[in-house]
Amino acid sequence: MRSIAFLSHKGGVGKTSIALNTAVLLSAQGKNVCLIDHDFFGPSLSTFIKPQVKWLNEYLLGEVKIENVLQDLSHDWNLPAKLIIGFANPTSEAVQEIIRIDQKSSIKMLQNLVKLKKTLEMKPYNMDYFIIDSSPGTGYTTVNAMLVTDVNIFLVKVSNADIIGSSEMIAGLTKQLKNKVLLIANQVPFDSIDTKEKQDELGSLIMKNFVEKIEDIHYIGAIPTDGELQLAEFSTALETLRGNPPKRIIHVLERPQHVFSQTIRIFLPKILDQIT
């Protein structure tokens, strides 16, 4: 089983959306995938799918069994292989509990995360990929996610605050954790990268801020955003404000021809090449 963690310096960079779309695409290609929401400070995976299981927090804290926190979505989405999801509890009480966790409990969470990974490799799960959508920042949940995964994918936005903050964060983390790091720029205006020349220039400019500080880092590319994607996100949020259940678009399923979906398809082989 191969394992990937999606991480970021701060929230709001599209980490959960990219992690979920990647997991769905792998399952659509016949791979068994488990995706867990390990972002306990700002969980958002449950805004895409309504959970029908116990919270992942409860398992990691030793309160429930593994099988009680894993939800199989493959039949719901007509996928040819398994897609199992584990959800973090989004309530304020659960977030506060995680914030106040002591060192002993954080070690226990790491031990149970390792146990979860080992269990997913065996029957009846037989997972091919284990994907973690982790918390932003450098807290223990980020470190735990990095400790149990083969490759760490950091999402950045092209802003001074995020580029500089991300480079310092990754440099600090990789001094102790010698993980392979991949870098993806997200939410880049489509017109800014609509030619190969523009894409190459952006990649070179971004990497100048990272290569001097980080020994093993690879730039995958930039994921574009456009007016259509922004309008779709706004429209679904507006429907929720009007009293409808929360819903977000899984683009590789619902809009496979959109540039976002097409870019995820292009990037996936590049990511997998770095794991083998």
* C-beta of residue 182 within 8 angstroms of C-beta of residue 153: yes
Domain residues for the domain of 68 are: 2-275
Q: 125-158: buried (b, 16+ CB within 10 Å) or exposed (e) per residue?
A: bebbbbbbbbbbeebbbbebbbebbebbbbbbbb
State the Cα angle at 256 between 254 and 261, rounded to 5°. Answer: 110
Helix axes 103-121, 140-147, angle to 10 degrees: 30
Tell me: the pLDDT tens digits for 153-191?
Answer: 999 999 888 999 999 999 999 888 888 899 999 999 999
pLDDT averaged per 10 residues in sequence order, the chain, 276 residues: 96 95 98 98 93 97 97 96 98 94 94 98 97 95 95 94 92 87 96 95 93 89 92 89 89 94 96 87
Query: What's CA 35's distance to the chain center, in Å?
Result: 8
Three-state SS for 158? coil
Q: Which two tokens stand for residue 244?
A: 């409808």
Nearest to residue 113, comparing CAs of 83, 147, 82, 136?
Answer: 147
Return d(Cα 32, Cα 111) in angstroms, integer: 23
Q: What are phi and psi of 252, to 5 degrees?
A: -65, -20
Structurally, the chain folds into a number of domains equal to: 1
Q: Which two tokens stand for residue 85?
A: 């999801």
Beta-bridge partners for 7: 154
* C-beta of residue 29 within 8 angstroms of C-beta of residue 87: no
Q: Which amino acid is at 2?
A: R
pTM here is 0.95
Q: Which amino acid is at 12?
A: G
How many CA atoms lie less than 13 Å away from 272 in the CB half-sphere? 15
* C-beta of residue 170 within 8 angstroms of C-beta of residue 181: yes
CATH number of the CATH domain containing 200:
3.40.50.300
pLDDT of residue 216: 85
pLDDT of residue 198: 97
Q: Which amino acid is at 125?
A: Y
Nearest to residue 117, comparing CAs of 276, 1, 271, 272?
Answer: 1
What is the side-by-side strand order in the sheet with 217-225?
71-72, 83-86, 33-38, 129-134, 2-8, 151-156, 180-189, 217-225
Tell me: the pLDDT tens digits for 188-219?
Answer: 999 999 999 999 999 999 999 898 888 889 99
* DSSP annotation string for 219-248: EEEEEEE-HHHHHHHHHHHHHHHTTPPP--
Three-state SS for 194? coil
Tell me: the pLDDT tens digits for 134-144?
Answer: 999 999 999 99
pLDDT of residue 76: 93
pLDDT of residue 245: 84
Q: Which amino acid is at 111?
A: Q
* C-beta of residue 250 within 8 angstroms of C-beta of residue 20: yes
